[in-house]
Structure 1
Amino acid sequence: MDAGILQAAAETTPWRLWECPDCAQRQVVPALRAGTVARCLRCNRLLRRARHDPLGRALALNVAALVLLGVACLMPLMKVSAGGMDLSADLFSGPRSLQSGGLWELATVVLFTSIAAPLVKVVAMTWLLIGLRRRRPGLHLRQVFAWIEWLRPWSMVEVYLFGVFVAYVKLIDLVHIEIGPALYALGALMLTMVAADAVLDRQAVWEALDRQDPAAPHGAPAMADAVNCEVCHVLNPPAHGGHAACLRCGAHLHARKPNSIARAWALMIAAVILYAPANIYPVLTVIQLGSGEPSTIMGGVVELLSSGMYPLAALVFCASVVVPVLKLIALGAILVATVLGSGRWLRDRTRAYRIVAAVGRWSMIDVFMASILVALVHFGGLVTINSGFGAVAFAGVVILTMLAAEAFDPRLMWDAAGTEQDAAT
């Protein structure tokens, strides 16, 4: 594909009828110049941000991210020494140590969120953007981009990096530490991936794919009961029996997420049940000179405070204590208001839902910190750190709350309140 076609693919059609994914308001979105944005008229959700050269710059940044990820995976992360013994750890050491300690569930979560999901996401995005430069991109690229969108919240490089930082602070008083090349690569990788997501115009990707397939839906059906695709956000004709698939990306179509409220309640209640053992049972146990010191989540915060690390203690307290509690309270309030059909503070509740969906992943800081400490500190009778059931339970809380937010359909708030309700109240 030449540069002229790529530039045309990055531009919008003259107009498009768009259904807001948060409040179901349908509105016409005109062609956008680079640097401009379109927001929902009813709930103020960002619908699209047009970028200059959204495909070319994203490709360059994803290639750079792939190189940095390779360096981060192959080089040492940190080296520690104590009592004449030296140990080093890489990105895979944490999952391996957790697995050998019998915590295979936690090992799987750490491996997936810190290595597998970022790797698949970067490789798939690079493959997709290279494919768009070919004269005949494969139709499989639509499914590839759908997978990338699903993986986006589970790729936690930036959260893992903060976990490494917290682990580093905790290790200063126990062992001698040397930072390895992988940690610098990981920092550069975080910045590169954030920049790659920032410069990418997702709708420009879908439009580039549309231009390669004349059968793809470019406009919007005139029917009032047209169904919005949750993956590519194009309106499709209503289905008449059976399971309908999006004409553009092939995703299953639903007017609203099936059993959304029931699934969100079930997942949230499960998270509440796990929250108690997550705070009661130890996340870590430090065994120094034969005596053990179990540490809970709050115990870790107190340790940071006693060491004078007040900003870091505040970060861990907010991510590991405040955020999970507020997420559960906010989700519960949103679900109750939806069930009751309340029309009050719809915009505020929609904004709260967006925050809940965005910040939940940051609670994984303690889980990543535990995986690094377990991998680095096992010096026999001198000092050893083991992870406990509290870390498994806490990881379950984080994952369940993320799934609960994903299961809930915010459009149901507006449906339950009635479309004529004043959004500003």
Structure 2
Amino acid sequence: MQGATARCHRCGTVLFAPRNGAMTQILMLSLTALILMFAAIFFPFLEIDSHGLHSRSSIFDAVLAFDHGPLLPLSVAVAGLIVLLPLARLAAAIYVMGPMAISYRPLPHADLALRFFDAARPWAMAEIFIVGVTVAMVKIAGLAHVTLGPAFWAFAGLVLLIVLKDNLMCRMTIWKTLSERSRP
């Protein structure tokens, strides 16, 4: 039932809370986050000035900085956990929610995409990355002049959108809708 909430009698945790228009909202948040993700990857993330030396970098530059030698696994981890996995989760959300938000049947293998979306959640480290960068910038601020680039703000907005999108999702409602609309 729309607007009703099911809670655990023992601990009070919300088990089921469908919302009107939630799929459309999740789809729009996912599309917006996808656009912000591309801005966060390629625009300048931060600039550092120290004693006449100037450096500007993006997340893409950070991934490519370790692309050879013994630090290659670090480059792969940064690319995978900070860029590729969040992009794949956003793509999976759009793939699953897109048709259902406009009352169409789900696309083929939407159930697998939704399983991937849920399983990859703990490994998509965009939120952890932004916290780590913020702590590092506070430490570096005493040694050099640090300027936040547009990608930093895009990434911060992206993290907020991802958190909002994940909190809007009632997985039980999505699975139920997916199951109902998959039937011939």
What TM-score do you get using the length of structure 2 for normalisation? 0.88
Q: Cα distance, 1:85 vs. partner?
A: 2.6
Question: Residue 205 of structure 1 corresponds to which residue in structure 2?
Answer: 174
Question: Residue 158 of structure 2 corresponds to which residue in structure 1?
Answer: 189
Distance in 2 separating the partners of 1:196 and 1:163: 22
Q: Cα distance, 1:51 vs. partner?
A: 2.5
Distance in 2 separating the partners of 1:80 and 1:100: 24
Question: Residue 125 of structure 2 corresponds to which residue in structure 1?
Answer: 156
User: What do the CA deviations read for 1:393-418 (whole angstroms, capped 9, x no partner)?
Assistant: xxxxxxxxxxxxxxxxxxxxxxxxxx
Amino acid at match of 1:213: S
Question: Residue 27 of structure 2 corresponds to which residue in structure 1?
Answer: 59
Distance in 2 separating the partners of 1:101 and 1:168: 26
Distance in 1 separating the partners of 2:179 and 2:149: 45
User: What do the CA deviations read for 1:54-110 (whole angstroms, capped 9, x no partner)?
Assistant: 211111111111111111112010011233332111112333223346222222222
Question: Residue 38 of structure 2 corresponds to which residue in structure 1?
Answer: 70
Distance in 2 separating the partners of 1:183 and 1:138: 34
Query: Greater helix percent: which structure?
Result: 2
Which among 9, 16, 37 is matched to residue 48 of structure 1?
A: 16
Structure 2 matches for 1:262-341, cutoff 5 A?
Answer: none
Identity %: 26
CA RMSD after TM alignment: 2.1
Distance in 2 separating the partners of 1:159 and 1:42: 31
Question: Residue 107 of structure 1 corresponds to which residue in structure 2?
Answer: 75
SS in 1 for 2:110: helix
User: What do the CA deviations read for 1:241-272 (whole angstroms, capped 9, x no partner)?
Assistant: xxxxxxxxxxxxxxxxxxxxxxxxxxxxxxxx
Higher RCO (CA-CA < 8 Å; seq separation 6+): 2
Amino acid at match of 2:28: A
Q: Which runs of 5+ in 2 are unaligned?
A: none
The answer as to whether partners of 2:5 and 2:14 remain within 8 angstroms in 1 is no
Q: Report the structure number with the largest CA radius of gyration.
A: 1
Question: Residue 97 of structure 1 corresponds to which residue in structure 2?
Answer: 65
Aligned residues: 183
Question: Residue 111 of structure 2 corresponds to which residue in structure 1?
Answer: 142
User: What do the CA deviations read for 1:25-58 (whole angstroms, capped 9, x no partner)?
Assistant: xxxxxxx44262332x466654323323221111
Question: Residue 126 of structure 1 corresponds to which residue in structure 2?
Answer: 94
Structure 2 matches for 1:158-173, cutoff 5 A?
Answer: 158-173=127-142
Q: CA 1:101–1:109 in structure 2 vs 1: closer, same or farther (change >3 Å)?
A: same
Question: Residue 331 of structure 1 corresponds to which residue in structure 2?
Answer: none
Amino acid at match of 1:128: V
Q: Cα distance, 1:116 vs. partner?
A: 0.9
Distance in 1 separating the partners of 2:91 and 2:122: 16
Distance in 2 separating the partners of 1:181 and 1:55: 29
SS in 1 for 2:70: coil
User: What do the CA deviations read for 1:178-217 (whole angstroms, capped 9, x no partner)?
Assistant: 11000011111111111111112112211221122337xx
